[in-house]
Every structure is written in structure tokens, then in C-alpha cells.
Chains A and B, each alone.
Chain A
Amino acid sequence: MLSDYQDCVTDTRTGGKMKLYSLSILYKGATKSNLLKAAYDLSSFSFFQRSSIQEFMTFTSALIVERTSQGTRASVKEQEYLCHVYVRNDNLGAVVIADTEYPQRVCFTLLDKVLEEFSRQVDSIDWPSGNPDTINYKALDIHLSKYQNPREADAMTKVQAELDETKIILHNTMESLLERGEKLDDLVAKSEHLGNQSKAFYKTARKQNSCCEIM
């Protein structure tokens, strides 16, 4: 278990894993869902792949929302991606596509947050018929960018990660503290040696008192 945490800590420091690729807000219609707004971070893909990947992600997001019932959160694995979806009871939904390393809980926090903000800024009347050009919501890119680093963005993750780091530091400090002083293995060996081969102190008198004790 400790090694899991160690991996996580390494990740945020090097920024190798835990990526978000797309963040979309959709309206779940009766038969199909329509995209209201989307943000993408395709910087990790080669230039020529980007447009087709974006298409793929848009398509997948819509599909997932269509298949998810109201008031449901779900995580779907699609090839090497994890798609997290939340469809609210008012048919407003959001999908974030991430890699498998990115913590699930943070994704759902993100989706909640984004939907809440969106529903405040954009009137619900515009939802069923809206599209990215008509919808006036500008914060999606910012959110996607901020949440690339789950620790910074999400307070809880930050605390948990710090706790984990503390645990590791504690553990290491403990180890180094315990290094000081005599090695216990040495002491176990030494004391065993002491116990062995102890000649009894009695019965050293070789001569016996045989004669009478009167004089």
C-alpha cells in the first residue's frame, strides 16, 4: 500500500501521469444528447492526431451521456481512457475524459463544480437547443487547465497527498532514528553468546571434606 502512495507522490512531482484530456457539458435530450460546451487538452498527442482524437472524444462524451440515466455518476473505461460522467436530474450532464491514473474522486468533484457553475451562468431554457457557439460559458478551459494538477486544484487531494508524504517522512525519520544506537541484531547475538557456555560457579571445589569435623 505504501508503494501505491509512493507512486502517486512521484507522479505529481514529475507530472508524468494523471492527465485530463477533455471536459464537456451536454444536455441529455429524450433521444439524443447535444453538446453545449467543451474544452480539450490534447498537448500530449502528436499534432496530426489531435483533430481525430478530439472528434473521438466528442463522440464518446455524447454517447456516454445518452446511455447514462438521470441522477447518475459513472466511470467508463474506453481503450486507455477513463470517462467520468455525471448526469443530473435536470438532464444537465458533464463528461471528463482522463487517463487511468487520475483520481476518480477528483473528477466527480470537478463535474459537480462545473455543472453547478454552468447552471448558474447559463439559463436552463437555452440548454435543450444550445451548442458551443451559442452558449456563453467561458470557464471550461480554465477548469480543465487547473485540474490538470489534482493536488493543487482539489483541496482534499492536496491534504491527502500531504498526509501521505508526511507518513513517508515519518517512516523515514523513524528508520533513521532507529538506525542510531546499537543494532538490535548485534545485541540479540551478543546476549545469546553470553548465555551460552556459562560454567556454573559451584562444584568448583574438587576436594571433598572427607574427614570428620570435630577438630
Chain B
Amino acid sequence: MAAHLSYGRVNLNILREAARKELREFLDKCAGSKAIVWDEYLTGPFGLIAQYSLLKEHEVEKMFTLKHGRLPPADVKNIIFFVRPRLELMDIIADNITSEDRHHSSRDFHILFVPRRSMLCEQRLKEQGVLGSFINIDEYILDLIPYDGDLLSMEYESAFRECYLENDQTSLYHTAKGLMTLQALYGTIPQIYGKGECARLVANMMLRMKREFAGSQNQILPVFDTLLLLDRNVDLLTPLATQLTYEGLIDEIYGINNGYVKLPPEKFAQKKQGEGSKDLPTEPKKLQLNSAEELYAEIRDKNFNAVGAALSKKAKIISAAFEERHNAKTVGEIKQFVSQLPHMQAARSSLANHTSIAELIKDITSAYIIPLNHLSSHVSASEAFFDNLTVEQEFMTGVDTDKVNTYIEDCIAQKDPLIKILRLVCMQSVCNNGLKHKVMDYYKREILQTYGYEHILTLNNLEKAGLLKPQTGSRNNYPTIRKTLKLWMEDANEQNPNDISYVYSGYSPLSIRLTQILARPGWRSIEEVLKMLPGPHFEERQQLPSGLHKKRQQGENRTTLVFFLGGVTYAEIAALRFLSQVEDSGMEYVIATTKLVNGTTWIKSLMDRPESQTQ
């Protein structure tokens, strides 16, 4: 039982337990002592399903990373390869097998493909002459992984790229499969809504897959009332904007991977009393971030400007609790206080960590940089973070989106990180429905000349994905969309929000607005706007066996699973959680996605360098 999965309307522990059970069964199939050789990419997601302790229970004695050459020595009966179905990994495995000294060891080999077997890979192994060496070849279907009580992700990094650049629908197939697994455990979802080409495809696959299982009726009472499938390209703007929630900023600045973040260690070094200043730790501080940590659950979705006040309040509460020890007189009272100590220590430790993280973030959001502008002779200071934010907000409100932006020019001149430039330039393009030729050419030239011509591939990719494209002559619909859906809310309340726009301090994510309107009053009220957004929108119903239709109690909330095809940001997740909490919304949301992204990782997945073909 994972603690962080227990807080939520839908018990995602069931999904996790099902995954653990399958893993156990496979491990037991390879009887005897074992060593696992890991495809490194898988260690992260697997960590969310099973810790080493579970593996140890099934006689896993050693674990190694997959790499060329000879396998490390290990006195085990079985060697199991846990790998993705990728050709280059097959070559490494073949290398391992052929390097094996047959005379000294007689170990059994097995492969576990995650998430699917692949004939192509098995063919490759055959070509390498090692296919016969494996006793068990199986697949471990790991599609949707629970990240938190209301969050599932496939951690399929290349989904957006495959769908929108390469016309490859593999990720959509996996999505449909994942949804079928979900329905097997949580009941058939009676209503499916969607917007986008990929959404349509996924829904079709689901319906077809359901027909294939026509014989067996799913008797489980449905937990989800509605499924909403959304293409990422329906809302290209949101991932480009800098997130302003606490969790969003942690991801933007430091990157959250598989629920962990690595932070610079300086602020976490404890000053021990009486000792001289020790050497500062050099290892980055690794912290787990999920809702099992009470304080984190409280502040993660807040706008960062509201975090200080929340931490301050918590500090006072914890401080008062610790002072209570002076009131403990009898042994009984002291005993009671002591029994509370572990919980209080944990709370204090949590407070210390997040105070440090908040300080780190504050340093960045109020950082000053002093650029030496080669066009001018004097030095000017600027608030880097705020300047960037200003330009974003200007674009979002439609200010001067048709001209070359001077801030972007300056940043290129200073050779700021390329992805920062790309995010801004794409945002301008999206908010202007494409850039005027003159503007487009100017940016392209400046970027290629400053950062290198190899990036021409990236620029092509961005154009293909619709992020950075030339104006086609059709009218810019964005202002209409913005006004109709109220995407820009003046005077956003960061401390006590009353609207989802607080996550970007004024801009409400288009994707979430659509979700909000679907629940109430429904998409019929925005037919015109929906037509301006790419891809079809649709509604499907799935038959439930008679007797399973839920009788809704008075005041009981409905549950919607919102599936983002191509990536979702933490700010959008925060916005959905906000909607779940709103008094009379009558709706609770569970979020699923192909990948958790931020603007940087998202753009990165679209970048291409000619020499990096093997990545």
C-alpha cells in the first residue's frame, strides 16, 4: 500500500497492486536466485510500482545496469533483462550473452519487455544468434503508472513527437490499452468526450477493443462517470508559459522526475551546534514529492506568492506544538508528548525542506542579471524572471504579437539558453496564429546565426508541430478564443484564488477551461469556439450492463478522468485540483497523461541534432 495513493476519490492502489502482482508472478516464473539487468530508463517508473524490498522477497539478489561487455559476476541461477523493446538495447544484450563464459557459469537467461514484446526486437536477437539462449521471454504491460492519488502517467516521452511529427500512432495504441486496463479494474466508463484528432483515434480504438471483448461483461460498478480525451495541440499555448505554482516552478527550474527532485545541496546542510563549519555536501539533495507529505500536499498547487504565508503559518503551528512539552508535567503527559514526537519531527523536517526550496525559487524569481548589451555602452540591470514573464503576458493579451520583440532580440544577442528563446518565439506565433514572414525570417536568421545552423531541423519540427509557423492568411482566432473563454483574467488573486487563472497569475489554461465548461454548462455553448480549435470534438456512450447504472445521491460528486494526449503540466493539474475543490462544482477530476511535461522538456522532445540519431 502506497501512502500517497490513498488520498483521493479513486483508489489507485488497486492499479498499483495489480501491477505488483504481475511482476511477482513473472519473477516466480524464473525460479531460484536472480539478478536483474536494468534498462536505466525503466528504473524510474518501476520505482513507483515496487521497491527493492519486493524484488528481494522474490529472490532478486543483485541488480545491474545494462551496458556493453561482460556481465558482472554474480552467483545467481537466473539473469533477467528488464528492457524497452528497442533495437539498440537488443545489441547490448546480445553482447552480454556472447561474452558469457559458458564453462564457468550456467545461468538461465530471461527477458522482460516493458511495456510490450516486439517481433522486431526478437528478430534482431535471432540475427545476433542469441534468441535461443532465453528461457522466458515475456512482456510486462506497464501503461498507466499511478504518480499520486489523482494522477496517472505513462511517462511516454516521445508521444507528442510521434503523433504530430512522425505520424506514428503507437503511443495512442498504448493509451487505448492503458484505458482498457483501467476499465477492467474500475469499471466501464459510460461517457467519453474528446477534442482532437488523436482523441478521436483513441476513442475509436477503445470502442473497437471493447467490441472484441463482447462476450465478457464488466460487472464492476463504474468509478469514473466520464472520460475526457484532449489533444495537446488543442492547447499549444499553455505548456509554453512559465508555470507559477509551487510545484510548477520546482519542475520548471529543477525538474521533477518520477516524483523526485534533485536540488543544490548548500541550503540543506545542517549547522550542527558546536562544530566548526564542515565541508558542504556536494551530492545534490534528492527529495520525494507527493501527497503523502502533508505540508507538500497543502502548498504544491498554490501560486508561489502564496507559499510564504502558508509556510509561515505552519512554522508557527509546529513551533507551538513543540512548546507544549513545557506543559507536560506527569510521566503520563510526557509519555504522550513523546509518542507524538516522530510525527512532529517529520513535520519540522518537511517545513525545513520546503522553506529551503522556496528560498531557492525566490532567489530565481527575484534574480537580477546585469547584461552587457553589445549594442549599447552602458550596463543595465534587469529582473530576468519578471522580464520574461512580462513578455509572455504581453503575448497572451495580444500585445504586439505581429512585431519582432525587442526582449527576445536582446536575449538572443546575449546568447540566453536556446529553449528559452524557442518558448517565447513559439508563444508569439501561437498567439498570433503564425508569424508574419518578415518576423519569422528575422527570428530564424538570428537563432541560426547565434546558436548554429544545426538547429534548422528543430525549427522545421516546431513548424510541423504548429508551434512556430508562418502566417497563412487566415484570420487570427486567438483573441476571439481568449475573450469567449475568458482566458485572461485581470487582477488574478494569487493568495485566495477564485478562478483557475491563478496558476499563471492571469492566464487560465485553455485545456482546463474547456474541461470546466464541459462539466457546466456543456460544450454546446461554445460550439463556435470549438470549431476554431484543431481536430474534431465528439461524444460517445458505452453500454453498461443493466443494473450498474449509478444512482446518484444528493450532493455526490461525479468523477471525470481527463486524459491529456501529448503531455500535461503541473499548473494544469493544479487548476483541475482547484476545480475539484470548488464548493458546488459537483465534479472531481483524476488526471492521466502520456507524459508530465514543462515547456522546456516539451520543446526538447522536438529538438533534433544531426549527430544524435542514436538517442
Q: Which residues of A contact B (CB under 8 A)?
A: 1-2, 163, 166-167, 170-171, 174, 177-179, 181-182, 184-185, 187-188, 190-196, 198-209, 213, 215
Contacts and interface: CB of A to CB of B under 8 A. Distances in A.
B367 interface: no
A195 B309 contact: yes
B348 A200 contact: no
Nearest to B491: A202
Closest 6 CB pairs of A and B: A195-B308, A194-B308, A201-B505, A191-B311, A182-B352, A213-B479
Contact of B390 (A170, A194, A205, A215): A205
B308 A181 contact: no
B231 interface: no
A202 B308 contact: no
Contact of B270 (A2, A167, A182): A182
B319 A194 contact: no
A136 B351 CA distance: 74
B331 A204 contact: no
Contact of A207 (B305, B394, B490): B394
A187 B322 CA distance: 13
A200 B494 contact: yes
Contacts of B394: 205, 207
A61 B358 CA distance: 76
Interface stretch (B51-59, B337-345, B456-464): B337-345
Nearest to B388: A204
Interface stretch (B395-403, B553-561, B596-604): B395-403
Q: Which bracket fits the contact residues of B?
A: 35 or more
B273 interface: yes
B492 interface: yes
Given A181-B345, A202-B492, A170 B398 contact: no
B378 interface: no
Given A170-B334, A174-B325, A184-B319, A205 B358 contact: no
Nearest to B507: A202
A198 B351 contact: no
13 contacts: A179-B273, A187-B315, A187-B318, A188-B316, A195-B309, A195-B312, A199-B366, A201-B305, A204-B390, A205-B394, A205-B399, A207-B394, A213-B479
A193 B362 CA distance: 11
B96 interface: no
B384 interface: no
Contacts of A179: 273
A170 B334 CA distance: 8
Given A163-B331, A209-B397, A194 B307 contact: yes
Contacts of B399: 205, 207-209
A198 B316 CA distance: 20
Interface string B390-434: 100110011110000000000000000000000000000000000
Interface string B297-328: 00000011101110110111011001001000
B247 to A, nearest CB: 15
A131 B480 CA distance: 118
B366 A187 contact: no
Nearest to A210: B399
A202 B341 contact: no
B351 A187 contact: yes
B169 interface: no
Given A178-B322, A182-B348, A194 B362 contact: yes
Interface string B78-112: 00000000000000000000000000000000000
Given A182-B270, A201-B244, A205-B393, 20 more contacts: A2-B329, A170-B331, A170-B338, A171-B325, A174-B325, A178-B322, A181-B345, A187-B348, A188-B319, A190-B359, A193-B308, A194-B311, A194-B362, A199-B366, A200-B494, A201-B494, A202-B492, A204-B389, A207-B394, A209-B399
A2 B304 CA distance: 46
A199 B386 contact: yes
Contacts of A203: 491
A109 B231 CA distance: 87
Given A208-B399, A209-B397, A194 B334 contact: no
B355 interface: yes
B14 to A, nearest CB: 37
Contacts of B311: 191, 194-195
Contacts of B605: none
Nearest to B395: A205
Nearest to A207: B399
Contact of A174 (B244, B329, B338): B338
A38 B243 CA distance: 90
Contacts of B325: 171, 174, 178
A206 B349 contact: no
B566 interface: no
Nearest to B242: A201
Contact of A198 (B305, B337, B348, B491): B305
Contacts of A207: 394, 399-400
Nearest to B479: A213
A201 B318 CA distance: 29
A209 B478 CA distance: 14
B506 interface: yes
A8 B33 CA distance: 62
B389 A187 contact: no
A209 B397 CA distance: 7
Contacts of B480: 213
B476 interface: yes
Nearest to A212: B479
A110 B79 CA distance: 77
A47 to B, nearest CB: 46
B349 A181 contact: yes
A176 to B, nearest CB: 10
Contacts of A206: 390
A200 B505 contact: yes
Nearest to A177: B341
A179 B274 CA distance: 12
Contacts of A192: 308, 312, 315
A184 B494 CA distance: 27
A188 B322 CA distance: 13
B534 to A, nearest CB: 21
A188 B315 contact: yes
Given A174-B325, A181-B352, A202-B505, A167 B305 contact: no
B494 A167 contact: no
A196 B337 CA distance: 33
A191 B350 CA distance: 13
Contacts of A202: 393, 490-492, 494, 505-506
A185 B352 CA distance: 11
Output the residue of A200, A203, A205 with the most chain B CB within 10 A.
A205
Contacts of B270: 181-182
B361 to A, nearest CB: 9
Interface string B463-494: 00000000000011001100000000011101
Contacts of B490: 202
